[in-house]
Amino acid sequence: MENGIETIFSVLRGTKILFLALISTLVGVFLIVKSDGPIFSGSGFIFIVIGVTIMIINFKLRVSKIVRRVKTDYKD
């Protein structure tokens, strides 16, 4: 039972991080679309890069965690 609860909390924690990354990316897109000059466009690009980087790192961590779990479950 505790393992299931821990899994739920870890998924929620990962979802929170992904939500923040998505918001960062959307802010970057909004800044680029609504920009009147290169300053806002550049900062929008930085927001997009930060958001996408967080998403990629989170995805890699989740995949490595799943691979590690599968390796330990099916170890001979």
pLDDT for 3 beyond 70: no
Q: Where are the domains of the chain?
A: 2-73
In the Cβ-directed half-sphere of 41, how many Cα atoms lie within 13 Å?
A: 5
Query: Is the C-alpha dihedral spanning 27, 32, 36, 41 positive or negative?
Result: positive
CA angle (55 as vertex; 49, 58 as ends), nearest 5: 135
Q: Quick one: pLDDT band at residue 14, thresholds 50, 70, 90?
A: low
What pLDDT, on the 0 to 100 scale, is given for residue 35?
A: 80
pLDDT for 43 beyond 50: yes
Q: Quick one: pLDDT band at residue 1, thresholds 50, 70, 90?
A: very low
* Angle between helices 38-73 and 2-33 in degrees, nearest 10: 160
Taking only the tens place, the pLDDT of each residue in 26-37 is 999 888 888 877
